[in-house]
Amino acid sequence: MSEEMMNTREAAAYLGINEKQIYALIKAGRIPGTRVTGKWVFPKKLIDEWIETGARSGLKEAREKSRGMEGALLASGSNDPVLDFLLTGMRHTHPEFYFFCANTGSTEGLKALGGGYTDIAWTHLLDQESGRYNVSFLPKYLPDMKAVLVHLFRREIGIVAAPGNPLGIAGIEDIAGKKVRFVNRQAGSGTRVLLDYHLKSSGIPAEAINGYDRQVYTHVEVGLSILSGEADAGIATVAVSRLMGLHFVPVTKENFDMVLGQSTYFNKGIQALVEDLRSPGFRERFERLGGYGFEDSGKILYSNI
């Protein structure tokens, strides 16, 4: 079927749900689609818009709820297991602050911040021309905001595969072809941008990846897809490989940063987050995990204030 139109099976794979759930969404009138010669088809563009609208609607609702809670901040964008541990740890060190996070991907996180739906965006977007992370995207998505880009940590990201690497995957070129069932991240995520960059650099078309359109929304989901046998490989952080016992093939080291407005930067909750991130106990714990660097944590990389 045309890449612009999807049938029920393709739509289910694209959304990462069961085909029966597609029919339930149709019956409830909650998914954009139409009948053609008795069969349901779904324009990919409308599905993408539907996903984006749903994500923003959820963020708006969460934003309204958080406004009534003192010390509450709403964040959206990318995700990382170390970030999850950091925010969980803050419930013990600084119980007066609340961080509510939505895993929307780096691009959608910046869009949500620019639209006023969230206080913080977590991001790791690679500029394919400059080779730098995040800075060049701020004028595009936050043209009217006095924004601050704060470095959180460096992390190693690569291909994760089943323990023992039974398919002998050694690099990006090895995930092409029918043999390897790949699980991808959603469009707009920093990991998807990174993959597309390496595919383009290697001259590999997306169509050559078996599972390019099979997408999930977090690094942990990538790991679980492999552990469950649903996929053979995906792109994820080294933390996922270590925590889940998966084989890891390094691809690159990247910046994982947060973007926020000037007033939010001076929020006591943000200062507490940076304080915990830079604490010797936290850093030593995850430096032992390997693949992470905290040398410049808390450093302001960009500001248009």
Same domain, 30 and 98: no
What was the pLDDT predicted at 264? 93
Same domain, 101 and 177: yes
Is 186 in the same domain as 52? no
Determine, yes or no, domain membership for 64.
no
pLDDT band at residue 52 under the 50/70/90 scheme: low
Arithmetic mean of pLDDT, 4-10: 82
Residue 266 placed within a domain: yes
Query: What is the pLDDT, as a whole number, of residue 16?
Result: 67
Same domain for 15 and 107? no
Query: Averaged over 278-296, what is the pLDDT?
Result: 88
Residue 211 DSSP symbol: T
Place of tokens 């749900």: 17
Of 36, 58, 80, the one marking the end of a domain is 58
Scanning the structure block, which residue is given the tokens 């291909």? 159
Residues 195 and 240 in one domain: yes
Contacts of residue 219, defined as CB under 8 A and 6 or more positions apart, other chains included, come to: 79, 80, 81, 191, 236, 237, 239, 240
Output the pLDDT for position 131. 87
Residue 58 confidence (pLDDT): 54
Q: What is the pLDDT of residues 148-184, one digit of tens each?
A: 999 999 999 999 999 999 999 999 999 998 899 999 9
What's the pLDDT at 165? 97
CATH number for the domain harbouring residue 198: 3.40.190.290
Alpha-carbon Rg for the chain, nearest whole angstrom, is: 20
Is residue 296 included in any domain, yes or no?
yes
* Spatial separation of the C-alpha atoms in residues 160 and 271, rounded to whole Å: 34
Helices 8-15 + 44-66 axis angle, to 10 = 40
Confidence of residue 279 (pLDDT cuts 50, 70, 90): very high
Q: Are 94 and 269 in contact (CB under 8 A)?
A: yes
Spatial contact of 99 and 116, defined as CB atoms under 8 Å apart: no
The secondary element (H helix, E strand) that includes residue 35 is: strand 34-36
The answer to whether residue 198 sits within a structural domain is yes
pLDDT at 2 over 50: no
Q: Residues 1, 119: one domain?
A: no
Write down which residue in 58, 79, 98 finishes a domain: 58
Question: Where is the domain boundary, 39, 58, 77?
Answer: 58
Which CATH number fits the domain that encloses residue 5? 1.10.1660
For residue 54, being part of any structural domain is answered with yes
Mean pLDDT of 186-207: 94
Over residues 283-291, mean pLDDT: 84
60 pLDDT more than 60: no
Q: Do residues 155 and 222 both lie within one domain?
A: yes
**DSSP 8-class letter at 290:** S
**pLDDT tens-place string over residues 80-99:** 999 999 999 998 899 999 89
Higher pLDDT, 64 or 277: 277
Q: How many domains does the chain have?
A: 2
24 and 78 belong to one structural domain: no
Q: Could you tell me if 51 and 76 lie in one domain? A: no
Tokens standing for residue 150: 């704060």
Residues 29, 157 within the same domain: no
Note whether residue 121 is domain-resident: yes
Average pLDDT over residues 106-120: 93
- Bridge partners (DSSP) of residue 292 are 155
**In-domain check, residue 177:** yes
Write out the residue range of the structural domain in which residue 40 sits: 1-58
- Name the average pLDDT for the chain: 87
pLDDT tens, 217-273? 899 999 999 999 999 999 999 999 999 999 999 999 999 999 999 989 999 999 999
Q: Are residues 53 and 75 in the same domain?
A: no
Q: Is residue 63 part of a domain?
A: no
- 121 pLDDT higher than 50: yes
Alpha helices in the chain (DSSP H): 8-15, 19-27, 44-66, 81-93, 106-114, 138-141, 190-202, 219-227, 238-244, 262-265, 268-277, 280-287
Phi-psi region of 120 (alpha: psi -120 to 50; beta: other; left: phi over 0): beta
pTM passes above 0.75: yes
Res. 61: pLDDT tops 60: no
β-strands 147-161, 233-237 pairing: antiparallel
Would the CA dihedral through 159, 164, 167, 170 be positive or negative? positive
Whether residues 49 and 81 share a domain: the answer is: no
Q: Give the percent of the chain with pLDDT over 90.
A: 63
In angstroms, the CA 146 to CA 24 distance is 44
Indicate if the pLDDT at residue 68 is higher than 50: no
